[in-house]
Amino acid sequence: MAKSGLIAGIDIGGTKTHLLVSEDGNVVADTVVPTSDWRTWDRAADAAALAALITETAKAEPAAIAVGAHGCDTGPHCTQMESDLGAHLTGKIKVVNDSELLVPAAGFEAGIGVVSGTGSIAVARNGEGEMLVAGGWGWILGDEGSAAAIVREAARAIRKSIDLGESGDPLVAGLMSKLQTDDATKIGRLLNETRGAAVWGSYADAVFDAASKKSPLASRVIEDGAAALARLVGILISRGADASHVVIGGGVVVEQPSLFEAFRRAMAEVSPKSEITLLRAAPVNGALALARRLLG
């Protein structure tokens, strides 16, 4: 039976799951586990494993549980996961996409959440509560403004520069150093051999370092990435999203002030009246805020 006053917020990412449990307003558990410890992408098995993880962490069944889940990319996905968890838990349950945690984590009731990390995505709800998503297509098709895409676009910029017979831009030497090569023509082959968004994203520091050294190529890549993130927000606005608050978070934009400033400039063109917030707090706080709302 669910314990009154006990609530749980869960942020399920691709690599880690963060659980935050509160009882009568006081945090009683704050735990991070590898997502691979419980998630197998078998719906029934994952629901049972997550329910067990929640009750084990909380030491009882919470009265309200809110989950932000990587992979819940549509309304029906989230509804299905709520139903699956409901087969094991009796408390109130709310499941949203993990990027939807940003707005409540920043203390707002409504707005648009933008993630710029290994990947990128923008998510909001319209007036009818319908989930609106732009981006999130993965680094091969898109994810503009993410770590992996910034590296991808930097490599393209270098390719074009070399084709034009240009040389000397700090970005070229910086990315070559990351890839441990002294031959710029090998950049494409080396990146192709190290496939995977996380690996590509790990090279993004080279782009930001080059920009700090006045690299025109790197600066343009960063500005273009930020503009692409702002365009995702523009798409959601056109579909009915409330843009009074736009909250952006994720490892890249939090760690790289130049990307956030470029995003803020781009948003001044897309939606001048929006309040832009950089989320530094853990997104799981947004899940806990949603769980509080479930209790009214």
pLDDT at 238 over 90: yes
What pLDDT, on a 0 to 100 scale, did the predictor assign at position 54? 94
Scanning the structure block, which residue is given the tokens 């790197």? 218
Say what percent of the chain tops pLDDT 70.
Answer: 97
pLDDT-derived band at 128 (thresholds 50, 70, 90) equals confident
3-state DSSP: the chain helix, strand, coil percent, rounded to 5? Answer: 50, 25, 30
The answer on 289 and 262 residing in a single domain is no
- Quote the pTM value: 0.84
Q: Does 116 reside within a domain?
A: no
Separation of alpha carbons 113 and 115, rounded Å: 7
Q: What digits encode the pLDDT tens for the residues 69-102?
A: 887 778 888 899 999 999 999 999 999 988 899 9
Count the alpha carbons within 13 Å of 244 in the hemisphere toward its beta carbon: 6
Q: What digits encode the pLDDT tens for the residues 17-40?
A: 999 999 988 899 999 998 888 888
Q: Which bin fits 124, alpha (ψ -120 to 50), beta or left (φ > 0)? A: beta
What pLDDT, on a 0 to 100 scale, did the predictor assign at position 1? 66
Cβ-contact 111, 103 below 8 angstroms = yes
Identify which of 173-177, 189-193, 226-230 has the greatest average pLDDT.
226-230
3-state SS class at 264: helix
Q: Does 111 reside within a domain?
A: no
Mean pLDDT for 206-217 is: 91
The domain of 88 spans: 2-98+281-294
Q: Does 262 reside within a domain?
A: yes
What pLDDT, on a 0 to 100 scale, did the predictor assign at position 24? 85
Identify which of 152-156, 266-270, 279-283 has the greatest average pLDDT.
266-270
CATH number for position 46? 3.30.420.40
Residue 145 in tokens: 């403004």
Q: Number of folded domains in the chain? A: 2
Q: Minimal CA–CA distance to 20: which of 259, 286, 273, 294?
A: 286
Q: Does 265 reside within a domain?
A: yes
What pLDDT, on a 0 to 100 scale, did the predictor assign at position 202? 79
Q: Does 107 reside within a domain?
A: no
Q: Does 137 reside within a domain?
A: no
Q: Minimal CA–CA distance to 206: which of 181, 169, 171, 182?
A: 171
Beta-bridge partner residues of 66: 9, 94
pLDDT at 188 over 70: no
> Average per-residue pLDDT in the chain?
88
Q: Minimal CA–CA distance to 237: which of 272, 265, 261?
A: 272
Residue 211 in tokens: 């920009």
pLDDT at 131 over 70: yes
The answer on 83 and 6 residing in a single domain is yes
